[in-house]
Structure 1
Amino acid sequence: MEIKRRGLLLVLSSPSGAGKSTLSRLLLEKDEAITMSISTTTRSPRPSEVEGVDYNFVTIPEFEALVEEDGFLEHARVFDNYYGTPGAPVEKALTEGRDILFDIDWQGTQQLAQKVKSDLVRVFILPPSKQELEKRLKTRAQDSEEVVAKRMAKANQEISHWAEYDYIIVNEDLEKAEQELFSILKSERLKRERQTGLVSFVKELMGEED
């Protein structure tokens, strides 16, 4: 038996190198009830990217029109391109009881909280130490020494917003961090206010009529 519930928006934020992307991938691989948020962007698609799967690609005038219509839950300009989360598909998913995963920073999280705070579950991923964070950034060999230095310099600013989140996971051991993340998601799904079918279920259980 499954009681109807409203979906939730799970936000993962962290400084670069703390393990947010790895935890996101594991969650998406192992839980079919949650999908990644698809952002709208004005940048050109890369060769491997698919419209409607990786991003929704639009022109700058189209994006600005959506901003004017209050069509985004959150949006930002990153370098010369715009990125945003359209509100309509998110609301549709929530109503249908589907969960959406967001891999965004503290600024995007603040914007989401202004629009959909009751649906939001905010998780911040911390590294066990600054030394470990720098080691991870260097070990993954994706960035130059200069880029690593910039990411480390930015880490303090990002970490300073930890208290704005509902849950904190210190990612020292990946398996433990993964278990903690799944526990958070399971608990949030069971919250009474999200189980929209409980009223009718309990009435039926008690033999009462609507």
Structure 2
Amino acid sequence: MRRGNLFILSAPSGAGKSSLIKALLEQHGQDGSLAVSVSHTTRQTRPGEENGVHYHFVAVEEFKALIAKEAFFEWAEVFGNFYGTSRLAVEEQLAKGIDVFLDIDWQGARQVREMMPDAIGIFILPPSRQELERRLIGRGQDSSDTIAHRMSEAVSEMSHYDEYQYLLVNDDFDDTLDKLRAVVLSARQRLASQQQAHSALLDALLAVK
């Protein structure tokens, strides 16, 4: 069995990375080969979100206790809230051959790469600042002050795009989804993955007679 690939997806809020991951899993993850890591967070739930499905919602005190126990693969404070990824959960999925997606920011991505240098980074860009703002407003979840703050932070987030191996501009959603799937398929064909998946075949083909 091959070891799963760890994908890091980052983008400014509103660029569409969470929607892309969700669509990819719905269309191509029915065989259980794809999964998204469910992060812990201290922020309040939003309409339609479920604890344990979208996030593990915890109190600040509980989150800090988990930090002290080194339970997180990575963690960061964003917009005054804490976010973290369970190290044990990610490692267990990778060992089972499951490709895991981390929906995290550039700060978390740096932490992950320090421990997992072979993690595959993908950055999602919006087609323009105007479109990004339109999407944020269209969600109807944030106040005008929050949206203005997110737009300001978006520039800082996007400035780190060159720390990733892949760059996708989410102009047309279906086209971007196809490109994301192509990245996943390409990663599965890398030498290390194929050596694990076909070790018996390689031994048979290269056996000296």
Is the structural similarity TM-score above 0.5?
yes
Runs of 4+ aligned residues of structure 1 deviating over 6 Å after TM superposition are 43-49
Gaps of 5+ in 2: none
Q: What is the deviation of 1:145?
A: 2.4
Q: 1:18 aligns with which of 15, 20, 23?
A: 15
1:113 and 1:144, CA in 2 relative to 1: closer, same or farther beyond 3 A?
Answer: same
Q: Match of 2:19, as an amino acid?
A: T
Where 2:167 maps in the other structure, the secondary structure is: strand
Alignment of 1:72-83 (within 5 A): 72-78=72-78, 82-83=82-83
In 2, the alpha carbon distance for the partners of 1:133 and 1:59 equals 31
The aligned counterpart of 1:95 is 95
CA shift, 1:25, in A, is 1.5
Alignment match, 1:85 = 85
Residue 150 in structure 1 maps to residue 149 in structure 2: yes
Instruction: Write out per-residue CA displacement over residues 58-100 of structure 1, whole angstroms, 9 at most, x where no aligned residue.
Output: 6666544543443321012456654321212211111110011
Query: Which moved further from structure 2: 40-49 or 151-160?
Result: 40-49
TM-score by length of 2: 0.84
Q: C-alpha separation between the residues in 2 aligned to 1:42 and 1:132?
A: 29
Q: What is the CA distance between 1:206 and its match in structure 2?
A: 3.1
Cα displacement string for residues 119-168 of structure 1 (whole angstroms, at most 9, x for unaligned residues): x1111111111122222222333333222221111111011000001100
| Corresponding residue number in structure 2 for 1:31 | 28
Change (3 A) 1:95 1:57: same
- Partner amino acid for 2:91? E
| Number of matched pairs | 205
TM-score by length of 1: 0.83
Q: How far off is 1:13 after superposition?
A: 1.0
- Report the equivalent of 1:164: 163
For 1:147 and 1:59, how far apart are their aligned partners in 2?
Answer: 22
* 1:1-210 aligned within 5 A: 4-32=1-29, 33-41=33-41, 52-56=52-56, 63-78=63-78, 82-118=82-118, 120-195=119-194, 196-207=196-207
Give the SS at the match of 1:117: coil
Given residue 110 of structure 1, which amino acid in structure 2 is its aligned partner?
A: R
Could you tell me how far 1:17 is from its partner in structure 2?
Answer: 1.7
Letter in 2 for 1:14: A
